[in-house]
Amino acid sequence: MRAGKQALAAFAVFVLLLCCRTDAPGPVLPASPAAGQAEIPAAKYVALTFDDGPRAGTTDRLLDGLRERGASATFFLIGEQIAGNEDLLRRMRDEGHQVGNHTWDHVMLCGVSTEEVQREIGRTDAAIRSVLGEGSYWVRPPYGLLNEDQKSGFQTPLIHWSVDPEDWKLRNAQKVTALVLRQTKSGDIILLHDFYDPSVDAALAIVDALEERGYLFVTVEELLALYGEEPQTGRFYTDARTGPR
């Protein structure tokens, strides 16, 4: 018992020491390696996000690949595609991913009435809740667009992206992978679509390459927390390095 308590105390001190490293912005970095050891790369974090699913055949293949690689991601779902794909939503939750709302039928919210926005978001939120239960299901509006005066009507943070390879247009895994690898830095939010097979191939190649460079794949919520952000409702987040707007 006593030894256990001592170990716990030592661990607490270790955690405290790690938490006190506030000299650099961004996430807490691992302690420096002892002399003679290989240098451990500084912790780098990135969030993969997938819009326009769930879709049987592509989303499940993506989930398999992410699970094999120990990578977490965030899925912004189309409400009308949830029926029949409930098992994919449960997998997302059970396998450590974040689930979010991308409207009921991918409507451009910019310029539409408050009632229509509430219907698009509320109906999708209800569909997600009916499968996953209570929770805060963050929103990404289609095309990332909202009128400035619409933002305050949202009860969750709003999520943009900082790396967009336009995978929906290219439909080419190699090109998408190369574009993302060229642009990505720690704290980025990468936009992809689990609706397309080449995008799934690209996502898994991106995870392989960036994990090799020392990146860890986390959800958007985790990414913001790692950078010390306290997410605010009705504000857009583009990456974890810059604040909301």
Active-site annotation holds for 194? no
Q: How far is the CB of 41 from Zn ion (least distance, A)?
A: 33
Q: How far is the CB of 29 from Zn ion (least distance, A)?
A: 35
Cβ distance to Zn ion smaller for residue 195 or 227: 195
Round to whole Å and give the CA distance between 111 and 59: 31
Could you say which residues in the range 80-119 bind Zn ion, by CB under 5 A? none
Cβ distance to Zn ion smaller for residue 27 or 54: 54
Cβ distance to Zn ion smaller for residue 51 or 60: 51
Contact 47, 190 (CB under 8 A): yes
Round to whole Å and give the CA distance between 60 and 88: 7
142 binds Zn ion (CB under 5 A): yes
120 binds Zn ion (CB under 5 A): no
Active-site annotation holds for 51? yes
Q: How far is the CB of 105 from Zn ion (least distance, A)?
A: 11
CB atoms within 10 A of CB 174: 12
Round to whole Å and give the CA distance between 66 and 47: 12
- Name the segment binding Zn ion (CB under 5 A); options: 22-30, 140-148, 149-157, 179-187: 140-148
Round to whole Å and give the CA distance between 198 and 141: 23
Catalytic residue (choose from 102, 125, 193, 194): 193
Contacts of 118 (CB under 8 A, 6+ apart): 153
Contact 69, 40 (CB under 8 A): no
Number of residues that bind Zn ion (CB under 5 A): 3
In sequence order, the β-bridge partners of residue 77 are 53, 101
Contact 59, 53 (CB under 8 A): yes
221 binds Zn ion (CB under 5 A): no
Could you say which residues in the range 21-80 bind Zn ion, by CB under 5 A? 51-52
Q: How far is the CB of 232 from Zn ion (least distance, A)?
A: 23
List residues binding Zn ion (CB under 5 A): 51-52, 142
User: Known catalytic residues?
Assistant: 51, 193
